């Protein structure tokens, strides 16, 4: 350390305590970075790398950013998963003896962002903390620092399941104990979408006992303690807006694993990872940011409590039927700002004057919203009304205190309204009248001296002055004017009268600025007392916003109120896929019915590719989710039970980073479903077994269907191209065959997209390839090979071998489609008999076992 200058020594001592973060070290109007931080930041942020003399023989790498533009650079670092420690000057440089004292005032991490520029207003920014127990048990506590909400979960899983849980909740940062952090950090860095951090302290910090006193498990206490310790360490300020941890029990929510959320495209699409094309995109007609976040939360955690689902549906029905009241509520909500985050910023101590103005305007809209809500007359609206405190006193207080044109920044002034503080008004009067006096003085001096170009100016160095051009210096009254500054073409003067008035004006402005700052802090402190009530009001407004969004979408898209089934049956008439229907727009969507009950709880779906099997399966899952979040559903009529879980295996996806093939991913997702599903679950399995050989895939599919049928009993939709499986309906009483109809017209395949009873006759694979516009010779060749397979009963491998042999002997090429020459006599007759037996077989209706028996019989006859 001794080789460096005192300032660099100070930097190194601070950096030693923040090795895992970029240290933004304040030097005047810049945040500077040195050594490795400078090398890395200049590359990531694409800023100029320089160097400086730090006292050592080698120059020190350095880069920096202006303090006023730092949020943009911090946002880029945090978005890439890095942490930033903000080191500010905490001492006035004019009073410092030696190096100005500096301290880290905040550590900004991906999970602890509070700046509006760094946050998405329609998405939560979650940080999660983990506490591991024995036998796979663990507690997960997640929180959003920007809103103050905190939720706890107690579950069992191995490492992969825990990491999947973090991903399922879309956390941006996971806080682990140091041992777990060391073990997991590489796999998290390589394959997950969140950052890992370590914190060993897990005792509940002072001031947070009330947040966890209701938790009834020691692991939840440890996870919450670790989270609050980490937040306290990184934020170094009040966290009074943090709310008690709400324990989310698995028996009150539908469980949706990460696979199902991805496959069903609930909040983002698989292809673009964007919102457009997802269920969230369809349902989001919310008017506020907090309503948009609430909608996303509901979609990812639908309800599994009949009474709450019914209450939401009834409220949506009331909003649906009261068009004018709903539209008025929408218009009023449009004027409500993000009260959740405004309240958090007040408690956090970084609320701006503009924030308090937005809070006031939001509160002033609440009475009108309540007036319209009172017209609905349902249990849900009455409950919302009870939780909506108008906070009239606070609204009136802010109306008196905050100027209607309050600026964004505190230092800009003009924050406090006239009449709020008599002392401030006096200073303002002195400042305003003083400036008016100076303006009148200018006119007075012009008349007294006869110098028409005389003017009174001001700058920070000399204060107020009288400026006279050189050509007019002869008219200057030397007995009153005191020379202050000489310019190339003018002289500047002051008078005793001007100096006295300057003193009064500047003193008033200085005191006015200090007093206005103090008054604003006092106002913000007063508002802080209302934070818990404001958070409850914000939650109720967000809930109302989501419900009106459901009602608006339901009216626009012709959705109907579903009936919650008491008997566990699914009976949907004219069901539609809500997103596909909207994307199709002007095209007519082919609606389909679906019936599942205790007698037929499984549907085996066959039909060609692109005919609509996957869409049919997804629309059932989306309909169930929409009902269980409280929304009307896309159908002519619908009756569904409450599902405790939905499991899906739809689509093909490699996990290249994890080293898993499409088939392995398929097996893992299927395994998760059959190990965790119950009789109250919904399982959707699409073409299981396609990623391996025909017989392997068919055997697995067969076995999976039997296992679900015999041991789980869940409502299941299973699509397949193995037509041989359709015979299972004869031995499995709860299995029913259905297929997606398609017809050939003039050699072209036409999809009817209609689900009908029975199994499909063929897969139409070549016709689908023809629709994809594959080369005509290729299509023709495929049809010839298929014809040979169907006509002669040859195995595909045999056909390939024969084709290869023919290609190797072009001069005597064999045709795959000419009848072979039969030897004369008895041998020819025996061959004819065997061929006749083979060609008479209907392979599509034979089980693998039947095929093996017939093959054995043919072999005996041939020998």
The closest alpha carbon to 24, from 112, 86, 105, 66, belongs to 86
The closest alpha carbon to 573, from 601, 595, 605, belongs to 595
Contact 164, 133 (CB under 8 A): no
* Ligand-binding site membership of 367 (annotated): no
Which residues pair with residue 467 across a beta bridge? Answer: 455, 492
* Ligand-binding site membership of 634 (annotated): no
- pTM, 2 dp: 0.82
| pLDDT over threshold 60, residue 575 | yes
Largest CA distance in the chain: 147
Which stretch of DSSP H or E encloses residue 438? helix 422-449
Q: Report the pLDDT value the prediction gives residue 777, as an integer from 0 to 100.
A: 79
**What average pLDDT does range 791-811 have in this prediction?**
52
**Confidence band for 789, pLDDT divided at 50, 70 and 90:** low
Return the higher-pLDDT residue of 824 and 538. Answer: 538
**What average pLDDT does range 223-228 have in this prediction?**
96
Return the higher-pLDDT residue of 798 and 340. Answer: 340
**CB atoms inside a 10 Å sphere around CB 822:** 13
* Ligand-binding site membership of 613 (annotated): yes
| pLDDT over threshold 70, residue 802 | no
Q: What is the percentage of the chain residues whose pLDDT exceeds 90?
A: 58
Helix, strand, coil % in the chain, rounded to nearest 5: 50, 20, 35
* Ligand-binding site membership of 335 (annotated): no
Which of 312-326, 717-731, 809-823 is least confident?
Answer: 809-823
Q: Report the pLDDT value the prediction gives residue 610, as an integer from 0 to 100.
A: 75
**CB atoms inside a 10 Å sphere around CB 508:** 19
* Helical residues (DSSP H) of 708-825, grouped into ranges: 765-771, 776-792, 796-808
Task: Give residue 32's Cα distance to chain centre.
Answer: 33
**What average pLDDT does range 164-180 have in this prediction?**
92
| pLDDT over threshold 70, residue 709 | yes
**Confidence band for 347, pLDDT divided at 50, 70 and 90:** very high
| pLDDT over threshold 70, residue 659 | no
pLDDT in tens, 537-553: 999 999 999 999 999 99
* Ligand-binding site membership of 79 (annotated): no
Return the higher-pLDDT residue of 858 and 146. Answer: 146
Q: Report the pLDDT value the prediction gives residue 816, as an integer from 0 to 100.
A: 42
**What average pLDDT does range 342-350 have in this prediction?**
94
Q: Report the pLDDT value the prediction gives residue 479, as an integer from 0 to 100.
A: 87
Strands (E), 20-114: 22-27, 30-34, 50-52, 60-66, 84-89, 102-108
| pLDDT over threshold 80, residue 863 | no
- Greatest mean pLDDT range, 405-409, 654-658, 838-842: 405-409
**Confidence band for 817, pLDDT divided at 50, 70 and 90:** very low
SS (H, E, C) 323-383: HHHHHHHHHHHCCCCCHHHHHHHHHHCCCCHHHHHHHHHHHHHHHHHHHHHCCCCCHHHHH
Residue 46 backbone phi and psi in degrees, to 5? 55, 50
Domains of the chain and any CATH numbers: 6-108 (3.40.1170.10), 120-248 (3.30.420.110), 305-384+530-557 (1.10.1420.10), 422-524 (1.10.1420.10), 563-760 (3.40.50.300), 768-862 (no CATH)
Which of 183-192, 320-329, 627-636, 638-647 is least confident?
Answer: 183-192
**What average pLDDT does range 604-627 have in this prediction?**
91
- 3-class SS of residue 461: coil
Contact 749, 770 (CB under 8 A): yes
* Ligand-binding site membership of 609 (annotated): yes
* Ligand-binding site membership of 607 (annotated): yes
Q: Report the pLDDT value the prediction gives residue 811, as an integer from 0 to 100.
A: 47
**What average pLDDT does range 159-179 have in this prediction?**
91
pLDDT in tens, 106-150: 999 999 999 888 889 999 999 999 999 988 899 999 999 999 999
SS (H, E, C) 478-521: CCCCEEEEECCCEEEEECHHHHHHHHHHHHHHHHHHHHHHHHHH
- pLDDT averaged over every residue in the chain: 87
- CA 345 to CA 355: how far, in whole Å? 8
* Ligand-binding site membership of 612 (annotated): yes
- 3-class SS of residue 570: strand
The closest alpha carbon to 504, from 426, 417, 411, 414, belongs to 426
| Strands 246-247 vs 150-156: parallel, antiparallel or unpaired | parallel
Return the higher-pLDDT residue of 659 and 325. Answer: 325
Q: Report the pLDDT value the prediction gives residue 815, as an integer from 0 to 100.
A: 45
Contact 197, 188 (CB under 8 A): no
pLDDT in tens, 70-109: 999 999 999 899 999 999 999 888 888 889 999 999 999 9
| Strands 171-176 vs 150-156: parallel, antiparallel or unpaired | unpaired
Q: Report the pLDDT value the prediction gives residue 113, as an integer from 0 to 100.
A: 92
pLDDT in tens, 388-401: 999 999 999 999 99
The closest alpha carbon to 578, from 825, 281, 776, belongs to 281
End-to-end CA distance of the chain: 93
Q: Report the pLDDT value the prediction gives residue 762, as an integer from 0 to 100.
A: 63
Task: Please state the length of the chain.
Answer: 863
Which of 472-481, 694-703, 846-855 is least confident?
Answer: 846-855
**Confidence band for 172, pLDDT divided at 50, 70 and 90:** very high
- CA 337 to CA 352: how far, in whole Å? 14
């Amino acid at each position: 350390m001794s080789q460096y200058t005192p300032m660099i020594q100070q930097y190194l001592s601070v950096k030693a305590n923040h090795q895992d973060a970029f240290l933004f070290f304040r030097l005047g109007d810049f945040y500077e970075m040195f050594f490795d931080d400078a090398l890395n930041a200049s590359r990531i942020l694409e800023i100029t790398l320089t160097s400086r003399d730090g006292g050592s023989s080698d120059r020190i790498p350095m880069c920096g950013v202006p303090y006023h533009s730092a949020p943009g650079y911090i946002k880029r670092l945090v978005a890439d998963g890095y942490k930033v420690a903000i080191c500010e000057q905490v001492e006035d440089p004019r009073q410092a003896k030696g190096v100005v004292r500096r301290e880290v005032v905040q550590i900004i991490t991906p999970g602890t962002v509070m700046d509006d520029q760094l946050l998405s207003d329609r998405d939560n920014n979650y940080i999660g903390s983990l506490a591991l127990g024995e036998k796979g048990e663990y507690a997960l506590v997640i929180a959003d620092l920007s809103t103050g909400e905190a939720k706890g979960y107690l579950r069992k899983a191995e490492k992969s399941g825990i990491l999947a849980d973090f991903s399922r909740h879309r956390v941006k940062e996971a806080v682990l104990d140091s041992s777990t952090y060391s073990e997991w950090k590489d796999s998290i860095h390589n394959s997950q979408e969140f950052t890992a951090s370590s914190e060993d302290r897990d005792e509940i910090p002072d001031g947070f006992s009330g947040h966890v006193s209701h938790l009834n498990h020691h692991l939840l206490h440890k996870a919450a303690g670790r989270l609050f310790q980490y937040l306290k360490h990184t934020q170094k300020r009040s966290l009074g807006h943090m709310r008690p941890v709400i324990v989310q029990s698995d028996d009150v929510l539908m469980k949706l694993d990460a696979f199902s959320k991805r496959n069903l495209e609930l909040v983002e699409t698989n292809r673009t990872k964007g919102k457009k094309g997802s269920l969230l995109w369809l349902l989001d007609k919310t008017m506020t940011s907090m309503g948009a976040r609430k909608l996303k939360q509901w979609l990812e955690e639908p309800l599994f409590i009949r009474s709450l689902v019914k209450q939401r549906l009834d409220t949506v029905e009331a909003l649906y039927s009261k068009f004018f009241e709903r539209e008025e509520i929408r218009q009023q909500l449009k004027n409500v700002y993000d009260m959740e985050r405004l309240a958090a910023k007040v408690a956090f101590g970084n609320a701006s004057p503009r924030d308090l103005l937005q809070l006031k305007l939001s509160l002033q809209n609440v009475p009108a919203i309540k007036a319209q809500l009172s017209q609905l007359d349902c249990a849900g609206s009455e409950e919302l009304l009870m939780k909506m405190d108008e906070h009239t006193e606070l609204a009136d207080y802010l109306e008196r205190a905050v100027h209607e044109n309050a600026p964004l920044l505190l230092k800009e002034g003009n924050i406090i309204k006239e009449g709020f503080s008599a002392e401030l008004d006096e200073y303002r009067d002195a400042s305003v009248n003083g400036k008016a006096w100076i303006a009148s003085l200018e006119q007075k001096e012009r008349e007294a001296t006869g110098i028409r170009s005389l003017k009174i100016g001001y700058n920070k160095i000399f204060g107020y002055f009288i400026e006279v051009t050189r050509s007019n210096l002869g008219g200057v009254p030397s007995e009153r004017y005191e020379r202050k500054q000489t310019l190339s073409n003018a002289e500047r003067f002051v008078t005793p009268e001007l100096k006295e008035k300057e003193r009064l004006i500047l003193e008033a402005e200085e005191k006015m600025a200090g007093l206005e700052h103090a008054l604003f802090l006092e106002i913000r402190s007063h508002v802080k007392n209302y934070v818990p009530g404001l958070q409850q009001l914000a939650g109720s407004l967000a809930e109302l916003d989501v419900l009106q969004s459901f009602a608006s979408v339901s009216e626009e898209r012709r959705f109907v109120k579903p009936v919650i089934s008491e008997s566990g049956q699914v009976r949907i008439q004219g069901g539609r896929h809500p997103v596909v229907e909207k994307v199709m727009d002007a095209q007519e969507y082919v609606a389909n019915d679906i019936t599942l009950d205790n007698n037929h709880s499984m549907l085996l779906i066959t039909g060609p590719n692109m005919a609509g099997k996957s869409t049919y399966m997804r629309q059932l899952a989306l309909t169930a989710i929409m009902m269980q979040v409280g929304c009307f559903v896309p159908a002519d009529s619908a009756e569904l039970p409450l599902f405790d879980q939905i499991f899906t295996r739809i689509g093909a996806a490699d996990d290249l980073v994890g080293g898993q093939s499409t088939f392995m991913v398929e097996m893992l997702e299927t395994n998760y479903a059959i190990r965790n599903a119950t009789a109250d679950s919904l399982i959707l399995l699409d073409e299981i077994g396609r990623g391996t050989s025909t017989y392997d895939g068919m055997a697995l599919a067969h076995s999976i269907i039997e296992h679900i049928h015999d041991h789980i009993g869940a409502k299941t939709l299973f699509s397949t191209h193995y037509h041989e499986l359709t015979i299972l309906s004869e031995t499995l009483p709860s299995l029913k065959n259905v297929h997606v109809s398609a017809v050939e017209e003039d050699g072209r395949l036409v999809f009817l997209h209609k689900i009908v009873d029975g199994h499909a006759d063929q897969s139409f694979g070549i016709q689908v390839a023809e629709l994809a516009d594959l080369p005509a010779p290729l299509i023709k060749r495929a049809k010839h090979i298929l014809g040979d397979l169907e006509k002669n009963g040859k195995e595909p491998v045999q056909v390939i071998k024969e084709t290869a042999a023919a290609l190797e002997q072009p001069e005597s090429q064999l045709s795959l489609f000419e009848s072979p020459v039969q030897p004369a006599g008895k041998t020819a007759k025996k061959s004819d008999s065997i061929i006749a037996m083979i060609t008479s077989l209907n392979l599509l209706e034979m089980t693998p076992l039947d095929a093996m028996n017939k093959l054995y019989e043919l072999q005996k006859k041939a020998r």
